[in-house]
Amino acid sequence: FTYFTGKPRWAGRKPLTLTYAISPEHTIKYVATADVAATIRRAFDNWARVIPVRFEEATNYESADVKLGFYGGDHGDGEPFDGVLGILGHAFSPESGRLHLDAAEQWAVDLGKESSEVAVDLESVATHEIGHVLGLGHSAVKEAVMYPSLSPRTKKVELKVDDIEGVQALYGSNPNFRLNQTVQSETSSAIALRDAIKKS
Amino acid sequence: KDDDQHRQALFRATQYNSNYTWRSFHRLLDLERGSRVDGLVGLKQYFVRFGYLISTNSADSVLSDAFDARLETAVLRYQASLGLPVTGKLDATTLSEVMAPRCGVPDLNPNRSRAAETVQR
């Protein structure tokens, strides 16, 4: 895992509460608003499980700590989007709270119901970008959520040890979370993969 | 022969996963230091964008199609940063990763982005 220069993080009393909101203007039309909201909720929950930070959906977009929206092309922050695939999204280091997704993508909230070859899983990208919002940079671990690339039609939402250790170094651990369960899970996966390779 | 088959399989996967923005990079397969190919400047701009190559001025080598020492260093950094085999060449594994859809935040020195400058203000 890596951090932004200076290791910025959200400050505040523990347990820290951050509010978030999805832009009512900069959104996508082909996915129901409730489905987008539920998917973004799950993305925040992926991080809330491992750190003592609560994420609450704000009713007022302007006053939310984290502002999420779908933008196309040059949208005024100096980092224009590039159309289908290429750049999927970007987010800003703490305590900016801006999280932008490329409106040109074929966003999917359920890959099983989306037939497009270039469909991009919304929860996966949102989970990655929330990692940036919290202060993480990119990881060299291919399986980690914070690895910079994501192939179309791929779901990667489960935080790996690398992601967890990185974010917990910034915010501490959620008292209800046990890291060794994740370590065991990753070890089991690695053993299963090794066995499958041997077998083949 | 095995190597050729592996390369072909890998490249089919690359093309399936490749994005519209960087699709043309497939022409750069197997280039190494000393090569000169039209389109290499696009790859250099990619490495500038994601923090692997620093453009010092408008006349520097970033604007040329030569695979020079600076580009080789950028490729080495890229491979090391993303856990790829460190070869310094544009092998199939490296190009496959370059062409994959990705996050717009730079991998190295992310605070160099305008986003971070805004935060600092």
Q: Which of A56, A57, A117, A129 is catalytic?
A: A129
Query: What count of residues does chain B have?
Result: 121
Distance between CA atoms of residues B102 and A144, nearest Å: 13
Residue-level pLDDT at A53: 97
Residue-level pLDDT at B11: 61
Residue among A94, A140, A149 whose CB faces B101 most closely: A149
Provide the pLDDT confidence category of residue A195 given band limits of 50, 70 and 90. Answer: confident
Residue-level pLDDT at B113: 44
Residue-level pLDDT at B118: 40
Closest to B65 measured CA to CA, from B25, B112, B119:
B25
* HSE-CB of A9 using CA atoms within 13 angstroms: 17
Residue-level pLDDT at A148: 97
Q: Write out chain B residues lying below 8 Å of A132, CB-based.
A: 103, 105
A129 annotated active-site: yes
Give chain A's count of helices (H) and strands (E): 4, 7
> Parallel, antiparallel, or unpaired for β B102-103 and A119-121?
unpaired
pLDDT digits (tens, 9 = 90+) for A162-188: 999 999 999 999 999 988 777 777 777
CB-count exposure of residue A125 (10 Å: 0-12, 13-18, 19+): buried
Rounded percentage of chain B residues whose pLDDT exceeds 70: 69
pLDDT digits (tens, 9 = 90+) for B65-120: 999 999 999 999 999 999 999 999 999 999 989 999 999 999 987 654 444 444 43
Residue among B22, B80, B115 whose CB faces A93 most closely: B115
Residue-level pLDDT at B112: 45
What was the ipTM of the complex prediction? Answer: 0.92
Q: Write out chain A residues lying below 8 Å of B16, CB-based.
A: 117
Angle CA A123–A127–A130, to nearest 5: 135
Give chain B's count of helices (H) and strands (E): 5, 1
The verdict on a CB contact (< 8 Å) between A5 and B107 is no
Rounded percentage of chain B residues whose pLDDT exceeds 90: 50
Give the residue-averaged pLDDT of A66-79.
96
